[in-house]
Amino acid sequence: MFGATVALLLAVVVAVNSLAAWDRLTHERRVRAAAVQLQPGQALLGYRDSDERRFQQARLEVVPRPRVVAFGSSRIMSASTAMLGVGSGEFYNAGLSGGTVEDFIVLWSVLERRGALPDTVVLAIDNWEFNRMHPQLRWLEWADEVSRFVDAGAASRAPFARALGPAMYRWYQLKELLSYSVFKASLSELRRLSRGRPRRGAEIFESLRRDLVPESDVAGRRALRADGSIMYERAYVDQTAEQVRSEAVRYAASFRGNLGDFQWDAERATRLELLWSDMRARGVRVVAYLPPYHPAAWAVLSRDPRNAAAVRATATFMTRLADRTGARFANFTDPASIPCVEEEFLDGSHSRDSCVERSLRRLLD
């Protein structure tokens, strides 16, 4: 009797997980098909109203293999093909608002599964990413994929693990069919659909149908190019130096650059090392940097011993990690190290195109 009950429960879990997985895969194929529509020379106006994580995941499934890929937060999102001086289709910017190490892992895994690995990966790492006290929750939707990558990374240290890579991936897929945590997520999504609510990411279809325009017709609105780089709205770009300086000081003084109550996140540091090690093991050049702050913001942050200690901890870890993995690292936290002056900033932490381009040129030369 007990055995029959357990078997029945397992059958229910597998059935629900299988149904949800089938529905998700069908939906993801539709999102990918829609994502193909964004072609060079076009721009997407409605990007801010879409689930940008799903959007970037879908784009990486369909863009031609890029020679260079950028991962990072919004601080790298303006990096473009023109800035790097490469040909059309050779660069893709997979930056995300509030992008974290876990986001980079999932997006990298898309390229890995496709066999579309780039020659070079550029990573813009924020100091706040290693602050356990700064909320970073958007990536949690991908928690199962991140766990799979971390588990596989730990297992890959075995000498025979490389040959078992595809088999291990299939094993994790099968294991998820029996997972209770996956079952809860599957049940929640099926209930959502049964109540007539749209699938997550469904707005991508509507946006791509409604908001695709030639780049020349963007007319000062915020938009996303086909290479993943962002074009900022005119009102943001046309702020005066005084307006930007005031915002930069407020960002540093009131928000402390998201470094308040800094506590080192060793788990995220371990995940970053696994990611870099995987990239390097596959022959990919890894280039990383800490982006600059506005000079006025940096002056305020660096005067606070607690903030300065947090920045030093990140820079020290990144330097040692680069040495261990054979990556290249540059600490551009101080804008004078590039150099970038205050007229080259949009706010306390976002640089204008001229500063972003100079940073990338120095990294990649």
CA distances from 215 to 68, 224, 229, 286 (A): 22, 9, 12, 31
The pLDDT of residue 208 is 79
pLDDT in tens, 213-260: 999 999 999 999 999 999 999 999 999 999 999 999 999 999 899 999
Is the pLDDT higher at 172 or at 80? 80
Q: How confident is the model at residue 8 (pLDDT cuts 50, 70, 90)?
A: low
Please provide residue 222's backbone torsions phi and psi, each rounded to the nearest 5 degrees: -75, 135
DSSP 122: E
Is the pLDDT higher at 283 or at 189? 283
Please check whether residue 333 is in contact with residue 56, taking contact to mean a CB–CB distance below 8 angstroms.
no
Amino acid at 313: A
Q: How confident is the model at residue 15 (pLDDT cuts 50, 70, 90)?
A: low
Domain regions of the chain by residue span: 2-364
Euclidean distance between CA atoms 186 and 21, whole angstroms: 8
Is the pLDDT higher at 61 or at 167? 61
pLDDT in tens, 95-125: 999 999 999 999 999 999 999 999 999 999 9
Is the pLDDT higher at 365 or at 167? 365
Give the pairing of strands 230-231 and 212-214. unpaired
Asked if residue 164 has pLDDT above 50, the reply is: no
- Is domain 2-364 annotated with CATH 3.10.110.10? no
Q: How confident is the model at residue 349 (pLDDT cuts 50, 70, 90)?
A: very high
Please check whether residue 173 is in contact with residue 145, taking contact to mean a CB–CB distance below 8 angstroms.
no
The pLDDT of residue 292 is 98
Q: What is the mean pLDDT of residues 83-89?
A: 94
Please provide residue 202's backbone torsions phi and psi, each rounded to the nearest 5 degrees: -65, -25
Euclidean distance between CA atoms 76 and 348, whole angstroms: 14
Percent share of the chain, pLDDT over 90? 64
Q: What is the mean pLDDT of residues 271-291?
A: 97
The pLDDT of residue 51 is 82
pLDDT in tens, 286-318: 999 999 999 999 999 999 999 999 999 999 999
Asked if residue 132 has pLDDT above 90, the reply is: yes
For 242, counting Cβ atoms within 10 Å of its Cβ (0-12 exposed, 13-18 middle, 19+ buried), the class is: exposed
Please tell me the least confidently modeled range out of 202-211, 286-295, 327-336: 202-211
3-state secondary structure of 225: strand
Q: How confident is the model at residue 32 (pLDDT cuts 50, 70, 90)?
A: confident
The pLDDT of residue 19 is 47
Ranges of beta strands (E only) in the chain are 42-44, 68-71, 91-93, 120-124, 212-214, 223-225, 230-231, 285-290, 328-331
